Structure 1
Amino acid sequence: MGTPAGTVAGTQSIQNAPAPATAERPAAKVALVGVHGFGTHHLRNLKRLQAAGVVDLVAVADPTPPAPGSVPATTHAHPGLPELLAETSGLDLIIVATPIQTHAPLGLAALATATDLYLEKPPVASLADFNRLRDAAAASGRSVQIGFQSLGSHALTAIERLLADGTIGTLQGISATGRWVRDRAYYKRSRWAGKRTIDGVDVVDGVATNPLAHAVATALRIAGARTTADIASLETELYRANPIESDDTSVIRIRTSSGLPITCALTLCATESVEPYVTLQGSAGTAVFHYTEDRLTVETAAGRSEEVFGRDDLTENLLAHRNGGTPLLSPLQDSGAFMLVLEAIRTAPLPAPIDAEYVRWEGEDDAAHAVVTGIEEALELAGGQHATFSGLGLPWATSAPHAFHLPAS
């Protein structure tokens, strides 16, 4: 699911925002599936949009009823999407903010009703499910927005300009660096947290596919890699310090069809959480994009500059697309390159456990979190050199890069 970071000073700058309802164009009838967890972010956003007269939240669905006062009095609550669809007509938009393994069936069910769809990230838990969802969307003629909120940042337009202008010279590579902390409580919060599968169903809840998925998606977008055809090679090196199934410390190395290297070095086992960032490595300088803050820093021989940008809300962007054809910022079809990364992780060997000698625990009980020895420096070196952890010769990096066999196009 999504990351609600990215607003600056608690605000969002909206371009091409949908106009308030009129007699000719009533408020969009919206249903939200999943009202807890990240669903609470959508509830807050829909409350704002409903106050502006843009949407009408007519129904929600969740096995656990919404908290008192969290939805409008006129909103009908249902235990699941089938019940909601059976009792609700005329929907314009369904938003799905549920566990990863439910995205495919819920997304397909939503598209079968001829409504537009907002689906939280990651889109689905396998490339096969992505292809099914993409085909269903094409057959229905409906629009599907994926909840990579960072792709609404106005900084991306500024990055396009600086690359076109040659501000940092020729782009030679891109790295994504994520240093977050997740404690034991994080992995206890739900049955699917940190799992690769549940009862034979793919989940793929790893560092690169869920909590720091925006780092991967943003790096790919800047590189111009949107579809599966935009990826020439892909390899993973997955580790875990926590007693979980999925990876919590990993390197993903990508080469685009144009030959550009992208390296994503990510962990949930840092000493402390810092805002993740994407670095553009140019022949004449660098640009660093802290995507959760919409902050872009450029360094060249001429000096250093920094600017904080606004961003477009993806729900408003989808509504503007419905109303006036505004291009979607994060359309389903542009998640193909990201889904190749997810598929590579899904099909890779199990993450290698990091020896306890190189892991320390900070905090007590459920607030305790793992810290991998030297992880901050390791991430910087991996991104800067486009190296894997084993390639750097780290003592705990006992695995080897696993090359993903790209599907035939």
Structure 2
Amino acid sequence: MTGKRVAVVGIHGHGASHVRNVLRLPDAELVAVADPQGGGDLAVQVFPSLDELLAAVEVDVVVICTPIQTHVPLAELAMRTGADVLLEKPPTASLAEFDQLSSVVAETGRALQVGFQAQASEATLGLASMVAGGELGEIRGISATGKWLRTARYFQRARWSGRRHLDGVDVVDGAVTNPLAHSAAAALLLDGSTGVDDVRQVETELYRANPIESDDTSTVRITTSRGTPILIAVTLCAGEQLEPSVTVHGSEGRAVLRYTSDTLELHQGDARTVRTYERADLLENLLAHRADPSVPLYCPLAATGGFTRVVEAVRTAADPAEIPADLIDWQGEGLDRHPILRDVEPWIDRAADELALFSEIGAPWSNARRR
């Protein structure tokens, strides 16, 4: 045994990528997994639940990739048994849960890393340094756009998909808070506003074209304590899947971060440069921190406080307004069926450029809130 003993909870779907990641790291040894659906053909011990796993196997690190509403109890269970944790985003479904989990971190002294991969990108961190150093001048604002396409299969993959609540428990699985959560988290990092107290106000406009509880098309405007407006404009009802981006609008230049490819595009004067950067691995960083606490975590729980303020605003907002049927084109059949919100892409671009909510620029579906 050469590496730290790692267990993965939730190994199907995105969890499978965590299993592959553990297996490739020389400093990690996959000793067990927990999933009620079983472990497939993995040659390790398989348990139906984390508590049964921890009762039978000694573990140093637990990777949690499970439904949002299970994050806090599972992370707490792991930390109270002495394990460090890599927890998928969003870490919690509410500020109250965030406070609860923060207390467990402080009480146990365990390390908890949150799975915002873009926070470990040299592109993101380099741009944050540029913003802090004034290289883009005075910051007019930051905007984030996401134009994704999701079919009925995505919303039917699990009971909690597309739900705001399930069995009396908050889930808050919407476009802003889960699939495109990296947009808001990265924007807050670029502003240096990652803590709970770094967010002054959050305005939400949530809409849905799909027959779900949560939002699939939204604008959210965050005002940070330093006064920066951050505008999030996202949809899961685009005509095609496009790469999301975060743009910093400065008086001396503009920077576009494409966080899924770790690409940074700079516009300063007449010059335009594009460069792709490396990204560190969050589990590898957690293992290094465990070996030497002087190695900082890229995304500790405390650094997701500002993002959790956004989650809380979405959680407590009115239910998403239903987008009128005459604005939607449906394509595909069965599990491949999906809505395309007509002209959503240019409206998203305009909202981002003007740092404005959909209703403020007259997007046609924003009338749904006044019906």
Query: 2:125 is paired with a residue of what secondary structure?
Result: helix
Query: 2:218 is paired with a residue of what secondary structure?
Result: strand
Contact between 2:128 and 2:192, CA under 8 Å: does it hold in 1? no
CA distance change for structure 1 residues 84 and 190 in 2, over 3 Å: closer, same or farther? Answer: same
Q: Does 1:32 align with 2:5?
A: no
Q: RMSD in angstroms over aligned alpha carbons?
A: 1.4
Q: Following TM superposition, by how much is the alpha carbon of 1:160 offset from its aligned partner in structure 2, in angstroms?
A: 3.2
Output one character per residue of 1:237-288: Cα deviation in whole Å (capped at 9) or x when no partner: 0000001000000011011101011000010001111000000001122100
Partner of 1:8: none
Query: 2:280 is paired with a residue of what secondary structure?
Result: coil
Q: Following TM superposition, by how much is the alpha carbon of 1:364 offset from its aligned partner in structure 2, in angstroms?
A: 2.4
Partner of 1:9: none
Q: Does 1:275 align with 2:219?
A: no
Partner of 1:10: none
Q: State the one-letter code of the partner of 1:67.
A: G
Aligned residues, how many? 369
Q: State the one-letter code of the partner of 2:208.
A: R
Q: State the one-letter code of the partner of 2:250.
A: G
- Paired with 2:212 and 2:7, the residues of 1 have a C-alpha distance of 34
- Paired with 1:164 and 1:109, the residues of 2 have a C-alpha distance of 38
Q: Following TM superposition, by how much is the alpha carbon of 1:85 offset from its aligned partner in structure 2, in angstroms?
A: 1.1
Query: 2:174 is paired with a residue of what secondary structure?
Result: coil
Query: 2:234 is paired with a residue of what secondary structure?
Result: strand
Query: 1:60 is paired with a residue of what secondary structure?
Result: strand
- Paired with 1:165 and 1:235, the residues of 2 have a C-alpha distance of 28
Q: State the one-letter code of the partner of 1:288.
A: V
Contact between 1:237 and 1:252, CA under 8 Å: does it hold in 2? yes
Partner of 1:46: 22
- Paired with 1:216 and 1:163, the residues of 2 have a C-alpha distance of 16
Q: State the one-letter code of the partner of 1:108.
A: E
Partner of 1:14: none
Partner of 2:286: 318
Alignment of 1:206-285 (within 5 A): 206-285=174-253
Q: Following TM superposition, by how much is the alpha carbon of 1:335 offset from its aligned partner in structure 2, in angstroms?
A: 0.7
With 196-205 and 157-166 compared, the bigger mean Cα shift is at 157-166
Contact between 1:352 and 1:398, CA under 8 Å: does it hold in 2? no
Partner of 1:384: 353
Partner of 1:187: 155
Output one character per residue of 1:55-108: Cα deviation in whole Å (capped at 9) or x when no partner: 11111110011121xx3x3x211110111011112x211111111111111111
If each structure's helix is expressed as a fraction of its own residues, which one has the higher value?
Answer: 2
Q: Does 1:351 align with 2:304?
A: no
CA distance change for structure 1 residues 220 and 204 in 2, over 3 Å: closer, same or farther? Answer: same
Query: 1:345 is paired with a residue of what secondary structure?
Result: helix
Alignment equivalent of 2:55, drawn from 86, 90, 100: 86
Contact between 2:119 and 2:125, CA under 8 Å: does it hold in 1? no
Q: State the one-letter code of the partner of 2:5.
A: K
Output one character per residue of 1:13-43: Cα deviation in whole Å (capped at 9) or x when no partner: xxxxxxxx8xxxx521111111111110001
Contact between 1:196 and 1:245, CA under 8 Å: does it hold in 2? yes
Contact between 2:221 and 2:231, CA under 8 Å: does it hold in 1? yes
Q: Does 1:290 align with 2:258?
A: yes
- Paired with 1:179 and 1:348, the residues of 2 have a C-alpha distance of 22
Partner of 1:12: none
Alignment equivalent of 1:61, drawn from 26, 34, 39: 34
Partner of 1:15: none
- Paired with 2:267 and 2:320, the residues of 1 have a C-alpha distance of 36
Q: Following TM superposition, by how much is the alpha carbon of 1:400 offset from its aligned partner in structure 2, in angstroms?
A: 5.8
Q: Following TM superposition, by how much is the alpha carbon of 1:396 offset from its aligned partner in structure 2, in angstroms?
A: 1.5
Q: State the one-letter code of the partner of 2:14.
A: F
- Paired with 2:167 and 2:111, the residues of 1 have a C-alpha distance of 31
- Paired with 2:290 and 2:80, the residues of 1 have a C-alpha distance of 18
Identity %: 47
Q: Following TM superposition, by how much is the alpha carbon of 1:398 offset from its aligned partner in structure 2, in angstroms?
A: 2.4
- Paired with 1:231 and 1:64, the residues of 2 have a C-alpha distance of 39
CA distance change for structure 1 residues 226 and 45 in 2, over 3 Å: closer, same or farther? Answer: same
List gaps (5 residues or longer) in structure 2: none
- Paired with 1:234 and 1:58, the residues of 2 have a C-alpha distance of 42
Query: 1:262 is paired with a residue of what secondary structure?
Result: strand
- Paired with 1:340 and 1:164, the residues of 2 have a C-alpha distance of 22
With 108-117 and 341-350 compared, the bigger mean Cα shift is at 108-117
